[in-house]
């Protein structure tokens, strides 16, 4: 499956000490119509859930500020497709916020955004 680009939304006009809540998410659809689905790998058959195949989902989201980790989310099949993930982050100085996603197949993609104070 192909991966859509990720996006990080930040506030502008930040000052040292401000607490921001960056938004790590994936746009719902690329122009070519591809989408990063999420499924558990289970199917309901004869009233029971059975393994139909491996799950496909976002497995990890890590946020780094100037290369240092600020949060690390370990995710499961319970995460919806194209989730919106928010986390508080206290701005202490200018730098670069980078968010890295990894899915259950080991595919990885990331986005970075500079923070000016």
Q: What is the pLDDT of residue 86?
A: 78
Q: Tell me, yes or no, whether 2 lies in a domain.
A: no
Residue 48 is assigned to a structural domain of this protein: yes
CATH number of the domain where residue 59 is located = 2.60.40.10
* Dist. CA 113–CA 44, nearest whole Å: 42
Counted domains in the chain: 1
Report the C-alpha gap between 94 and 2 in whole angstroms.
33
Instruction: State residue 109's pLDDT score.
Output: 85
User: What pLDDT is stored for residue 22 in this prediction?
Assistant: 65
Q: What domain range is 71 assigned to?
A: 7-27+37-115
Tens of pLDDT, residue by residue, the chain (117 residues): 545 555 666 666 667 777 776 655 544 443 333 345 788 899 999 999 999 999 998 899 898 999 999 999 999 998 888 777 878 888 888 899 888 888 999 999 888 888 887
- Residue 34 is predicted with a pLDDT of 32
């Amino acid at each position: 499956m192909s991966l859509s680009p990720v996006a990080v939304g930040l506030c502008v006009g930040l000052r040292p000490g401000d607490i921001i809540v960056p938004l790590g998410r994936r746009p719902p659809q690329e122009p070519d119509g591809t989408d990063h689905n999420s499924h558990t790998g289970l199917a309901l058959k004869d009233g029971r859930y059975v393994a139909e195949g491996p799950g496909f989902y976002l497995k990890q989201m890590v946020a780094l500020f100037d290369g240092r980790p600020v949060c690390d989310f370990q995710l499961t099949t319970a995460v919806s497709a194209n989730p919106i993930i928010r986390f508080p982050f206290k701005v202490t100085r200018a730098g670069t916020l980078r968010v890295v996603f990894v899915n259950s197949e080991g595919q990885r993609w990331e986005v970075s955004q500079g923070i000016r104070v």
